[in-house]
Amino acid sequence: MRWALLTASVAPATTALWAGIVLIGGVEPSVPALTWVEGLDLEFRFTIDALALLMTVLVSGIGALVFVYAVGYFGPGANDGGRFAASLLAFSTSMLGLVWADSVWTLFIFWELTSVTSFLLVGHKNTSPSVQMAARRALMITGGGGLALLAGLLVLADAAGTTVISNLSPVAGTAGTVAAVLVLIGAATKSAQVPFHVWLPGAMAAPTPVSAYLHSATMVKAGVLLVAVTGPAFADVVAFKTLGLAFGITSMFWGGIGALRHRDAKLILAWGTVSQLGLLITLLAVGSGKAILAAVSILLAHALFKAALFLVVGEIDMRTGTRNIDELGGLSRSMPVAFGVAVAAGLSMAGVPPLLGFTAKEAAIEAVLKLSGFEQVVVGIGVIGGSVLTVAYTLRFLLGVFGPGPATQVGPARLSMTAPAVILATAGVVGFWTLGLVNDLVRPAAIELNAKAEVYELVRWPGMTTAFIISAAIVVVGGVLGTAVTRRPPTVPAPIGAEGADSILDGTLGMAKRLTARIQHGSLPVYVATMTATASLAALPFFTDLNLDHLVWWNHPLQAVLALAIVASAVGGAFVGSRLGAALTLGAVGTGVSALFVVHGAPDLALTQLLVETVIVVGFVIGLGPLARRFPSVAGPWKAARLAVSVFAGVAVTLALAAAGSNPSGRAPVADLATSAVADGGGNNIANVILTDMRAVDTLGEVVVLATVAIGILALANTNPSKASE
């Protein structure tokens, strides 16, 4: 258990170290690419640039810490640590692929992989029905968003004329709008934006290391990252900014309100994440240089403080057995280290100096002040209102968990759980005092997204600027609000939206079941009619090529006689009442056709056709054994439908073949084939040399199909209905 997790932590730790060294040493973007399907622009293409490296440090660094933390979280008794370590490592890899991706298809593949691995991790405790539901809900919403993203990327790549993300040119017009809306929906599902946020609180059913890693620091940032890297391409699209702001500002408010309603400390943080992600989406939708710099800074700061807070909550849950803030209290004395971490991280979240969160939030407010007109009003209300709520729920969280109250019984501490939280919280403090280093990390990434970000940098102490006064006012108002809400007797909050998502999920599954029952009805005559009608429809477009002038009616009078015999047999077959009689008339048709081949000078074809007919007729004799001797009588509309399909199929095939026959192109290849058959194939039978030498690959494919059919029949024959019903 312990060793599985510690071994798994080596890979992310090494990656983080490498990324950190490269990042500090100055980034030379490298572009490894592996072509997959040429001509379709399908390739695995990665770019390691400043933004990718910053995300790499976060993904791998926090990943390594979370592995260490999991050792303490699961304890020595747990027995499915191997599965957990494997899933978490798979997620970590998918996430790295996502942040490095430079082709829209690579991005999409890793995007989906993070959804799938997240499903496995949320559903880690796979025996609980509520956990299963939460995992399914998360998969349905993020997976549905993935479909929207795929459509959006298709439109975007088509409009921009490239699949390489770093080469995307600005798109405009209807295509741009459609792509922007679809990509934003994809991003909103992943980054838990209202109204797609309902999966995130449910995903708190996951083990706390997962919540800290996926649902605060990394996976939920995938949507943010997507908006960031596609932002330049959508710079001229109005819908991108409008919808982005709508998602972001709504989520900021609704997430903040949710965090004030809940009593589970983990849910408070989860709703807070919805709010913070809303802030990030808002800033990226604004897209100005300062806003991008603020967004990248908050991305970094949020990953640090939110992961630290989750780890603290997990430790409290482990040591006290509860996460309910009504039952918790007085932990500031009994868990001083956790208290210190929570205060440092919490104040960073609230935007209080001297912490990294303060600097980042200052940048956001300054970005708002640089806007003008209606946009400034809307974004300003969003950012300031959201920040007030953030201060309020942070205070409620700190007071509820650590504040005065009946002292909660506390279990023994585990170093492996404490240390990672301390490291993350310390990073937030150190980041503020070594702001030069943080600037070196953040600015190149921001400049990559918007060149105008170059003139800005993060400031440690702005002085008494407007932004600082607003910041101070936010803290005061939020503090008052937070204190008031904490004292209010809490009510049980209704999980708005979750039932809706669940009923959509149930409805989707039910609809799939009904649809399958309708399509796969099991009636062989209807299957045959459907397939015949569809194939005949496919022959329709060739009718126009029919050219009666070029059509050769016959080469030999015998052909006309044989044709008449074939038609007579076919017509007879339609009227024969007994099954065996019908099989024999079909055999007569086939034999007539093979006679036609003989007249035309194709003995090989005739021989094969004749043998096929023989085997089929004998097969009919065997197969018809258990059935009634005569066909069941068919009447009414079903008979009419069968007649219509049959006539349609006959006409369609006849006309399509006539159309093909009346359009000879070039010279017949017989002479060339005859020469090469002897020269290359060493045989005089052209047909067979084609089969075994010149086009032997085709034959190989055909016999593989035959073998597959044989195996399929054997498998079907082995499924014993009486056994299945037992």
Report how far residue 171's alpha carbon sits from residue 180's, in angstroms, rounded to the nearest whole number. Answer: 9
Contact call for residue 416 and another protein (CB under 8 A)? no
CB of 657 to another protein, least distance (A): 23
If the CB atoms of residues 535 and 703 are measured against another protein, the closer one turns out to be 703
Q: Site for another protein (CB under 8 A): which residue of 619, 650, 664, 669?
A: 619
Phi-psi region of 270 (alpha: psi -120 to 50; beta: other; left: phi over 0): alpha
Contact call for residue 723 and another protein (CB under 8 A)? yes
Q: Which stretch binds another protein (CB under 8 A): 131-139, 248-256, 351-359, 620-628?
A: 620-628
CB of 302 to another protein, least distance (A): 55
Q: Site for another protein (CB under 8 A): which residue of 128, 508, 675, 685?
A: 685
If the CB atoms of residues 459 and 687 are measured against another protein, the closer one turns out to be 687
Torsion of CA 383, 388, 389, 391, to 10 degrees: 120
- Quick one: how far is CA 92 from the chain centroid? 16
Q: Site for another protein (CB under 8 A): which residue of 419, 604, 642, 673?
A: 604
Contacts of residues 413-418 at CB distance under 8 Å and 24 or more positions apart, as own/partner, are 413/319, 413/335, 413/337, 414/72, 414/75, 414/315, 414/318, 415/72, 416/68, 416/69, 416/71, 416/72, 417/69, 417/72, 417/73, 417/311, 417/314, 417/315, 417/318, 418/315, 418/337, 418/338
Helix (H, G, I), strand (E, B), or coil: what is residue 44? strand
Q: Are 22 and 49 in contact (CB under 8 A)?
A: no
> Can you state the angle between helices 435-449 and 2-25, rounded to 10 degrees?
80
Query: What residues are paired with 43 via a beta bridge?
Result: 35
Report how far residue 368's alpha carbon sits from residue 384's, in angstroms, rounded to the nearest whole number. Answer: 9
CB contact burial 20-57 (16+ within 10 A = b; e otherwise): bebbeeebeeeeeeeeeeeeebebbbbbbbbbbbbbbb
Contact call for residue 688 and another protein (CB under 8 A)? yes
If the CB atoms of residues 552 and 679 are measured against another protein, the closer one turns out to be 679
CB of 714 to another protein, least distance (A): 5
Report how far residue 192's alpha carbon sits from residue 131's, in angstroms, rounded to the nearest whole number. Answer: 18
Q: Are 184 and 240 in contact (CB under 8 A)?
A: yes
Contact call for residue 643 and another protein (CB under 8 A)? no
CB of 522 to another protein, least distance (A): 17
Residue 716 tokens, joined? 């079907």
Contact call for residue 603 and another protein (CB under 8 A)? yes
Report how far residue 304's alpha carbon sits from residue 460's, in angstroms, rounded to the nearest whole number. Answer: 18
CB of 598 to another protein, least distance (A): 10
If the CB atoms of residues 564 and 713 are measured against another protein, the closer one turns out to be 713
CB of 617 to another protein, least distance (A): 9
Contact call for residue 622 and another protein (CB under 8 A)? yes
- Whole-angstrom Cα Rg for the chain: 35
Q: Which stretch binds another protein (CB under 8 A): 102-110, 186-194, 359-367, 684-692?
A: 684-692
Contact call for residue 531 and another protein (CB under 8 A)? no
Contact call for residue 596 and another protein (CB under 8 A)? no
Q: Which stretch binds another protein (CB under 8 A): 109-117, 185-193, 309-317, 687-695?
A: 687-695
Q: Are 187 and 226 in contact (CB under 8 A)?
A: yes
In angstroms, what CA-CA distances link 264 with 271, 337, 409? 11, 21, 18
Stretch 185-224 residues interacting with another protein (CB under 8 A):
none
Q: Which stretch binds another protein (CB under 8 A): 47-55, 123-131, 301-309, 622-630?
A: 622-630
Element (H, E) at 438: helix 435-449
CB of 648 to another protein, least distance (A): 29
Binding mask 664-683 for another protein (x = CB under 8 A): -----------------xxx
Residue 27 tokens, joined? 């980034």
If the CB atoms of residues 635 and 714 are measured against another protein, the closer one turns out to be 714
CA-based max dimension of the chain? 109
Contact call for residue 699 and another protein (CB under 8 A)? yes
CB of 528 to another protein, least distance (A): 17
CB of 699 to another protein, least distance (A): 7
Stretch 272-331 residues interacting with another protein (CB under 8 A):
none
If the CB atoms of residues 555 and 614 are measured against another protein, the closer one turns out to be 614
Q: Which stretch binds another protein (CB under 8 A): 163-171, 306-314, 417-425, 694-702?
A: 694-702
Number of chain residues interacting with another protein (CB under 8 A) = 47
- CB contact set of 379 (below 8 Å; sequence gap of 6+): 245, 249, 282, 286, 368, 371
Contact call for residue 469 and another protein (CB under 8 A)? no
Contact call for residue 704 and another protein (CB under 8 A)? yes
Q: Rule CB under 8 A: which residues touch another protein? A: 603-604, 607-608, 611-612, 614-615, 618-619, 621-623, 625-626, 681-685, 687-689, 691-693, 696-697, 699-700, 703-704, 706-707, 709-711, 713-714, 716-718, 720-723, 726
